[in-house]
Chains A and B, each alone.
Chain A
């Protein structure tokens, strides 16, 4: 039991924190202690309650019960502004920067009025801080001209510019290249050496192992264990995250595909969106019976490439999309589906599925060609059988076929969408971020289905930000950077470092050590 005396050595102590949302207990009696100068990991699957706990610390969400003790004093944090005054800073997964303002202006906005009067002094300070921590920034640049990695630096510098005692980072590496991750980790080590406490939220176990001193694992809203990551294997930590029943870690056999099946020739696509990416001279082909993985940090042309492939954007320039030998670059999405293509879109809700419609209606969304419509009328029996088949074969956890799409968890809805596309027996599947935000159990199930589809002779293109996923399932790999495609190599002939440099735009052939 803690006594007031030994609470003094802790910077922040959480005792018995609980938070109930309608229909879900997000945090269940959580105890957690943070010392100065230490890096903590908060691990857990999606929906385990990590975000809620962070938001409680940052004053965004109020706990229903429990105590917060900050440097030995019990307090309530009622707003982020109060948290910042205490010295708590947070870097959100989705950046909160105004794209049309400069770095200084963005940082000045989040500061106390008295501190942000002198913009020139602030600019110098930003420069100093950013250099000191190895994340150099030019304070006068507009945010929209920054790369994702640089934007994250702005977020971090914003926290460091005032005296920071606790820095919270929500899945900070999901938007970074491996090299950028290394830089970030150096900065975080430097900060912790100076006495800052760091709370690092992630579900990437390798990073937690490399960076953190302690890890606390959440499951179903409660603490399910804690450990020293350096003493544990990633498999043992994964077990704590998902429970014992789910198998963790898989090696799939790499194969060499057959003939070129989907070929993209010299695809150029100018964007109208000022923050969009122009695709330049994209050339690749996906072979029959293989998975081609496209790595890349979000916002490097993935959305644009997907739209061009699916037909949501029709090419105006002369690029060709051959499947297998006829050009379908001018065809509508429906016509492409008729030819045997299928698509798993980027967004599950609001693109892949209509949030407020039932599962059977969402089966009809892209499955209409499977005999679900006759003379313009819906054949309910066919639709419902198809829906039930997806639910059964892909083990979708849901009420029944009448459940509303948005009532499913992210992983289950993703399984449903993948199932809907895979059961159409496509000759070629184009899948975007197939396991983004999906728990480990569902991710493995999805990977197995993709491999099974590949083994049946389909050509599969997977676009993902998750390098580990691509190394696990793809047979060949490449990366997108600023609308350009890197060379393509067999997965067994490349390394994480090489793909990482592709993601950073270094396409040179020389080996990287």
Chain B
């Protein structure tokens, strides 16, 4: 029987090295996979990870893709640090995009500087709205937020599909499931001409800084982390658990909602059925890959964005299935979790269990966990 045994010490260095190790293992296994598919591994890896960012336009596209992932992952990291297992960034992102689109479409004829902030703010409110549902359920009925947020992801996707096939469909759009194009007053400004790099990326960078300050310099941020690590201490110190859970959900909802509305008002420019290729889900991987630290998450989100672009590139140039992206994401998370476990624990082969299960022996095997 296999058993995990604590190594008895934690290496801080190794805990930071773990994401790098996981990345390396992903590359190795990815190469093996390419060989099995009959593709030259090095060339394929090149297509996957180098070619997409070999020019300036590629780099700008990388940033465009990284921005929504980054926003969601920052929000999730704040939740996860407070032990709030919000898996609903995707749904909150979609709701932000939907509400933002609805407001943008209502303001098609409006002009002026105030229009864009109103649209962005309504998107943020949309994300918050979708996040306070699980927050209320958790604080009032002790509902498990993992389940409620996962379910809410599907609900918001279906509400979005209903809207884009129904009330928000472009009346002049030949019955395609798309809204009308937004007016220029509601579009996010482009930061560099000739690229699609929009203000959303700047807002995402700002979120990194604000989140870092929040987590390391404020008392509320400290309280959240105490709650996440040790709820009993938080209780003893009189921190208000419900309030902290609400803050975590609201912050994450706001950031995910901003990511959503920045997608529809930025690179997309209208409401379409698939405004996110699962950004809110990849953000979970990114949050852990970045060790729940804003700066780590910044780098992890760039890597994740590169995987999305590499997947598309490999599909175009080499005819590999797009599922490759999901496969790489999955491998990365798997190896990361495995590295994290094996840094703290070793696998030992224990003899077959004693025939007698006594409380004495069972309590001891628990101790060694």
List the interface of chain A (C-beta within 8 A of B).
21-23, 60, 78-81, 90, 92, 94, 96-98, 106, 109-113, 310-312, 332-334, 337, 343, 345, 347, 350-357, 361, 364-366, 368, 373, 376-378
Q: Are A79 and B233 in contact (CB under 8 A)?
A: no
Query: Whole-angstrom distance from the CB of B292 to the nearest CB of chain A?
Result: 13
B194 at the interface (CB under 8 A from A): no
Q: Are A96 and B236 in contact (CB under 8 A)?
A: no
**Could you tell me the dominant secondary structure of chain A's interface residues?**
loop
Query: Whole-angstrom distance from the CB of B142 to the nearest CB of chain A?
Result: 14
Determine the chain A residues whose CB is within 8 A of the CB of B361 once the complex forms: 79-81
Name A90's closest neighbour in chain B (CB-CB): B360
Q: Are B218 and A345 in contact (CB under 8 A)?
A: no
Q: Are B219 and A368 in contact (CB under 8 A)?
A: yes
Determine the chain A residues whose CB is within 8 A of the CB of B359 once the complex forms: 96-98, 106, 109-110
Q: Which of B232, B237, B354, B361 has the most CB of A within 10 A?
A: B237
The complex places the Cα of A466 from the Cα of B235 at a distance, in Å, of 27
Q: Are A109 and B236 in contact (CB under 8 A)?
A: no
Given contacts A81-B354, A345-B236, contact A23 B9 (CB under 8 A): yes
Query: Whole-angstrom distance from the CB of A330 to the nearest CB of chain B?
Result: 14
The complex places the Cα of A310 from the Cα of B238 at a distance, in Å, of 9
Query: Whole-angstrom distance from the CB of A341 to the nearest CB of chain B?
Result: 11
Q: Are A352 and B233 in contact (CB under 8 A)?
A: yes
Report, as a range, how many residues of chain B touch the other chain: 20 to 34
B355 at the interface (CB under 8 A from A): yes
B220 at the interface (CB under 8 A from A): yes
Determine the chain B residues whose CB is within 8 A of the CB of A357 once the complex forms: 225-226, 229
Given contacts A22-B7, A81-B361, contact A337 B238 (CB under 8 A): yes
Determine the chain A residues whose CB is within 8 A of the CB of B232 once the complex forms: 347, 350-351
The list of the 4 closest CB pairs from A to B, nearest first, reads A333-B238, A334-B238, A96-B359, A22-B8
B37 at the interface (CB under 8 A from A): no
B217 at the interface (CB under 8 A from A): yes
Contact with A along B341-362 (1 / 0, CB 8 A): 0000000000100111111111
The complex places the Cα of A112 from the Cα of B358 at a distance, in Å, of 10
Q: Compute the total of residue contacts between A and B using a CB distance below 8 Å.
A: 100
Q: Are B238 and A354 in contact (CB under 8 A)?
A: no
Query: Whole-angstrom distance from the CB of A92 to the nearest CB of chain B?
Result: 7
Determine the chain B residues whose CB is within 8 A of the CB of A81 once the complex forms: 354-356, 358, 361
The complex places the Cα of A461 from the Cα of B203 at a distance, in Å, of 54
Q: Are B236 and A110 in contact (CB under 8 A)?
A: no
Name A79's closest neighbour in chain B (CB-CB): B354
Q: List 22 A-B contacts (CB under 8 A).
A: A21-B8, A23-B8, A60-B364, A81-B355, A94-B363, A96-B359, A96-B362, A96-B363, A109-B356, A113-B355, A310-B236, A333-B236, A345-B236, A354-B229, A355-B229, A356-B230, A365-B236, A366-B236, A366-B237, A368-B219, A368-B237, A378-B219
16 additional A-B residue pairs with CB within 8 Å, beyond A22-B9, A80-B358, A92-B363? A21-B8, A81-B355, A312-B236, A334-B238, A343-B236, A345-B236, A350-B230, A350-B233, A351-B233, A354-B230, A354-B233, A361-B222, A366-B236, A377-B219, A378-B218, A378-B219
B157-184 contacts to A, CB under 8 A, are none
Q: Are A110 and B358 in contact (CB under 8 A)?
A: yes
Determine the chain B residues whose CB is within 8 A of the CB of A353 once the complex forms: 233
Determine the chain B residues whose CB is within 8 A of the CB of A366 once the complex forms: 236-237
Q: Are B360 and A110 in contact (CB under 8 A)?
A: yes
The complex places the Cα of A22 from the Cα of B364 at a distance, in Å, of 19
Query: Whole-angstrom distance from the CB of B362 to the nearest CB of chain A?
Result: 8
Determine the chain B residues whose CB is within 8 A of the CB of A22 once the complex forms: 7-9
Query: Whole-angstrom distance from the CB of B93 to the nearest CB of chain A?
Result: 28
The complex places the Cα of A394 from the Cα of B230 at a distance, in Å, of 25
Determine the chain B residues whose CB is within 8 A of the CB of A98 once the complex forms: 359
Q: Are B230 and A113 in contact (CB under 8 A)?
A: no
Q: Are B9 and A373 in contact (CB under 8 A)?
A: no
The complex places the Cα of A343 from the Cα of B355 at a distance, in Å, of 47
The complex places the Cα of A352 from the Cα of B236 at a distance, in Å, of 7
Determine the chain A residues whose CB is within 8 A of the CB of B358 once the complex forms: 80-81, 96, 109-110
The complex places the Cα of A94 from the Cα of B367 at a distance, in Å, of 12
Name A367's closest neighbour in chain B (CB-CB): B237
Determine the chain B residues whose CB is within 8 A of the CB of A352 once the complex forms: 233, 236
